[in-house]
A and B are shown apart, each in its own frame.
Chain A
Amino acid sequence: MPDTQALVNDFLNKLKKRKIEGSQATAKQTAELLRSVISQTRMPYTNQAAALIHSVKAVGERLIAANPVELAVGNVVRRVLHIVREEDLSLTTAAMAGLNLSAESDDEDDTDRDNHPALSAAAIAAASRSTLRPPSLQTLLEDVPDSAAVPHTSSSGGDSEGKSKSADKSSRSRKLKHDVIEAVNELIQDISTCHELIAEQAVEHIHQNEVILTLGSSRTVLEFLCAAKEKKRSFRVFVAEGAPRYQGHLLAKELVTRGLQTTLITDSAVFAMISRVNMVIVGAHAVMANGGVIAPVGLNMVALAAQKHAVPFVVLAGSHKLCPLYPHHPEVLLNELRSPSELLDFGEFSDCLDFGSGIGAPLLHVVNPTFDYVPPKLVSLFITDTGGHNPSYMYRLIADYYSADDLVLERRTTSGN
């Protein structure tokens, strides 16, 4: 499909050149791209799920390789793979057992699939796999009558099932693709509404006359604070400017235009101010499976300061930022070093960088990392679009969103090549 191919190349390029800013935009575009990949994938008569998984993986690998620092890409790819597996599983089980459950218990934690046949499918799929992974929130909350009804479902999903099934394939194939695309649409929907979902919870966390500290700029944080303001909460915000990109300035400006009492401080003043703060609310770049956070540089310092003064450290993260990998995972590139020009002016320092004289090697090193790693013990609470969670609880959310088979997506490909 030249069309998809062009789209993929275009997106790859953007990722490579670091032209897409922000996890949300990246996640959304990745999902949209994968959706078109799925819709363009030609479906064979047998083993359709495998075909879908294959094509998604093929594109996914390239996307992840294009910018491994942007973990949201990998997350979305894995989510889509998970969706394919689940849909396939539910279809096969449904076809096999002739089960046709109507919408049952409405789970508020998984992606909201209300009023849709896929919901029941997902529930069955989750149930059928429950024996093979730690109990997830979903399975705990549901009564699981169907798990016994699908005793022979294997962990490798529907791949083997698909082959054995010879029931009306043409309709099923269309159905699988259709269902997957619907589910991906919901994922896209989820990603684009995650800010609102998180912001809805603002009033529960921000109280009257509190002082909130944040660092740098995050759209999630902005909307969160504004949501609280709209609900007539009056509170003050300290914004640490977030050197070297100083996005805190933009946030402060934005907050002021929305009528919030804002104080701008330097990053180095955080410790001095933290004793007056009631709560630290920050955004994240990614949340790892152990509950650790990859966040804009400077946040570890803020978290440590908060711990010292026993100030709650709250991280806001959309579910697309949940990464099923651990920070010690070799595939995870924790950081990216950006240009030193953000720190200092090249012209002014050009004489320090003259390699022609002296020892011929630069004496001046400028290091400009983008991210910090905040260990889970420093985080008090995660607020995702599904509610507030403890750091130690993250692995369960992840079990809901991802298939264990997809976690090592990249390693398999590198060894395969």
Chain B
Amino acid sequence: MGAQKKGATARVSEDPEELARHPLQAILLADSFTTKFRPITLERPKVLLPLVNIPMINYTLAWLESAGVEEVFVFCCAHSKQVIDYLESSEWSSQPKFSVTTIESHNSISAGDALRLIYERNVIHGDFVLISGDTVSNMSLTQALQEHKDRRKKDANAIMTMVVKQSKPSPITQQSRLGTDELFMAINPVTKQLLYYEDKAEYSKGFISLDKTLIADNPSVILHNDKQDCYIDICSQQVLSLFTDNFDYQHLRRHFVKGLLVDDIMGYKIFTHEIHSSYAARIDNFRSYDTISKDIIQRWTYPFVPDVLCGSSAIKVERQGTYRASDVTLSRSAQFGSFTFIGQGTKIGTDTKISHSVIGERCTIGSNVTIEGSYIWNNVTIEDGCQLRNAIVCDGVILKSGAVLQPGVILSFEVVVGQQFVVPAYSKVSLLQQPTQQDSDEELEYADSTSGTGELRSDKLNGDIAPDLSETASELGTGGVGYIWTVFEGAYDEEWRHSVAPIPTDKLVKLMLDKDEDEELLTQDGNVISASRELKTDSDGNGSEDDDNEDSRDDYVSFEKEVEATFLRAVHENVKVDLAVLEVNALRLSYNMASVDCGGAIFYSMMKLAVESPHNSASELHRNAADIVTTWQKLLKSFLHDIDEEIEVILKFEEMCLESAKEFAALFPQILHLLYDKEILQEDAILRWADEKEGADESDKVFLKRSEKFIQWLREAEEEEDDEDE
């Protein structure tokens, strides 16, 4: 028939441009090889977690499809069965011109392993896009691909193009809006070559170190801290073989990128492509889950927004960015505020208030419930009077009436929270018990993400969970089911950084103060840092530059107090010297002090203790001091590495005698002698102190004069020694 023919010709006319292009392939890692989404990821792979009610992987696949990728290899590891089942039943298995192939592995523990396995399969035939299944983007690949190909033609060593996007890190928390650490990149502005990549910068120290050959080799280098790594890479085939050659490469960034940047023998180069108007971000932790959900609701990812992905007849966008499915049962008095998503079949009772939240499908929400900034997945039951703030509530959870979720709570699948029970902030609750291995260590994360996930679930679900649960029912109130995972020490402090809840204001205030102090210290510390400091203030543009010395002074005083407290505790509880040294060192790091300050502070504490312990006469005081110094000389000694530090101690002592502990004024030379005897102070230090003081004002020389005899004796002794030497 004529029409058929015409239809056919119409299709053919489209084909040439399709054929002219090399079929573009992509590797999608459907496993993040981390444990940041635990406990949820113990039961469901991260890529299938709903993001504004659509599994994350759908965003990634939809983007790949629209960006012109024709063949996607989905690498599944943890919960591979679930991923494969999902993909097979989804629309992706039947797309024309877009094939999704799954590659399953059970023993890969890192992205590196995954890529090595894919290399063995020999399925990648040209340039490919490397992406993980938790990336949301709407960028166009055409330009980036073209740039990559052009560079490849000129230089076969340009093996990778990384996509970056401008995104200013918060000046206070030093982390990006996605909850990842501040990222430093050095990029050649002309060639766009990536020269330096550091995502674990010791921001507390406030400096980064660049190889000086970098600056020598490149006419211009721009150091960015306002770029976000989108984790979308355009790679050539060599990337895979490089992973195979370097079998120790695990992490894409930490090992591979940094490895290539450091290694100048092979001369492989990585380039960057910056996107401006389009969006790209990767869900790395709960904070980015929150941020990206909000970005999606605000339509930054258009056309990958829920109403387009689901079809607008199913979900309608209303005023103020509210998304509502067609068959939501909403009570007349229920209020739902801006930027809220309500999924199909959900029922909401009277006087319930919902804002900035995502509510999944078939949920039942009672009356007088308050939901703010929370993510509620499917089939959740929330009874009357519950309050939820900044929480993630997974499928099948039941909140009995009056339950309260404080900010940052994660309730994993099918947890039941008892009546009136208050789940404390940042707790993670799951039906599964917490795995015993501690995974705070980065290296361990790889190890247990695979060995843990698969087996754990089967173990736990095979029956022994039932008796356990009745035991711990009280853990979540009456009728509650689930375990509250304990947070590891140390990790607790950092919990708020990656939580779904906004950072509490007191933390922000504290950080702000710390930062101000840091900056003060940095300025005092001298020239190395001032450069990086300038850089920081430049890009941040925050006005915390007011250089009043008061702050650092306060800081020192509080540090001194802390040291004193530590010292007193050490004395009273008979803590071993080694431990005391360790504690003081920790304090020094946390307050960012030099060891000079430690010596001074410890000495101060010792003398203060001596003064405060009961004494009747000066001689008794001297004895007290002598006792203390003898007992703790090792502690003091461990902070006095060189002469400057010793001089500092003398100066400190002098200061004390003038101000806080005038009783010592009379004993100054004796104590000095004591310290000399105990070999805490070297004679050089004392002599240099004396020399320095020579030129000072008369008022300053009080103690110098008092200890004149001692110094005289020292000088003579020295001369004698010299004589003997000669």
Measuring CB to CB, which residues of chain A are less than 8 angstroms from any residue of chain B? 6-7, 9-10, 13, 16-19, 32, 35-36, 38-40, 65-69, 181, 184-185, 333, 337-342, 345-348, 350-351, 353-362, 365-366, 368, 410, 414
Contacts and interface: CB of A to CB of B under 8 A. Distances in A.
A354 B170 contact: yes
A368 B316 CA distance: 16
B170 A351 contact: yes
Interface residues on B, range: 35 or more
B322 to A, nearest CB: 12
Contact of A181 (B3, B96, B287, B390): B3
B323 to A, nearest CB: 11
Interface in B52-105: 62, 65-66, 94-97
A351 B390 contact: no
Contact of A348 (B166, B312, B502): B166
A41 to B, nearest CB: 11
A18 B97 CA distance: 18
Given A337-B317, A365-B321, A346 B311 contact: no
A35 B308 CA distance: 26
A345 B7 contact: no
A351 B179 CA distance: 13
A340 B298 contact: yes
B279 A360 contact: no
Contacts of B65: 13
A368 B96 CA distance: 32
Nearest to B292: A355
A19 to B, nearest CB: 7
Contacts of A40: 4
Contacts of B303: 16-18
Contacts of B355: 361
B290 A66 contact: no
Contacts of B299: 337-340, 368
A181 B313 contact: no
8 contacts: A181-B1, A339-B138, A340-B298, A346-B300, A355-B291, A355-B294, A356-B287, A361-B356
Contacts of B302: 337-339, 341
Contacts of B94: 9
A410 B313 contact: yes
Interface SS majority for chain A: helix
Contacts of B276: 345-347
Given A9-B95, A32-B6, A351-B168, 10 more contacts: A6-B96, A39-B3, A40-B4, A65-B313, A337-B317, A339-B301, A346-B167, A346-B279, A351-B177, A361-B356
B568 to A, nearest CB: 38
Contacts of A36: 3-4, 7
A52 B276 CA distance: 48
A184 B97 CA distance: 28
A414 B313 contact: yes
Interface of B: 1-4, 6-7, 10-11, 62, 65-66, 94-97, 138, 165-168, 170, 172-173, 175, 177, 179, 226, 276-279, 287, 290-291, 294-295, 298-303, 308-309, 311-313, 316-317, 320-321, 326, 338-339, 355-356, 373, 390, 501-503, 508
Contacts of A185: 3
Nearest to B167: A350
A131 B501 CA distance: 66
B138 to A, nearest CB: 7
Contact of B177 (A18, A35, A339, A356): A356
A355 B177 contact: yes
Ranked nearest first, the 6 interchain pairs of A and B with the lowest CB-CB distance are A347-B166, A360-B502, A339-B302, A36-B7, A39-B3, A350-B167
Contact of A357 (B170, B279, B321, B339): B170
Contacts of B300: 339-341, 346
Contacts of B338: 365
Nearest to A188: B6
Contacts of A346: 165-167, 276-277, 279, 300
Contacts of B66: 17, 19
Contact of A347 (B3, B226, B309, B326): B226
A338 B276 CA distance: 16
B502 A356 contact: yes
Contacts of A17: 62, 66, 303, 308
B293 to A, nearest CB: 9
Given A7-B11, A69-B312, A357 B96 contact: no
Nearest to B541: A351
B6 to A, nearest CB: 8
B167 A347 contact: yes
A264 to B, nearest CB: 22
B391 to A, nearest CB: 12
Contacts of A357: 170, 172-173, 502-503, 508
A69 B307 CA distance: 11
Contacts of A361: 294, 339, 355-356, 373
A353 B179 CA distance: 13
Nearest to B178: A356
Nearest to B407: A360
Given A341-B278, A356-B503, A368-B299, A347 B165 contact: yes
Contacts of A342: 277
Nearest to B97: A10
A69 B312 CA distance: 9
Given A346-B166, A354-B170, A66 B502 contact: no
Contacts of A67: 312
A40 B65 CA distance: 28
Nearest to B309: A16
A103 to B, nearest CB: 22
Q: Which of B3, B97, B175, B308 has the most CB of A within 10 A?
A: B3
Contacts of B390: 360
Given A68-B313, A181-B1, A361-B356, A10 B96 contact: yes
B24 to A, nearest CB: 16
Contact of A360 (B11, B97, B295, B373): B373
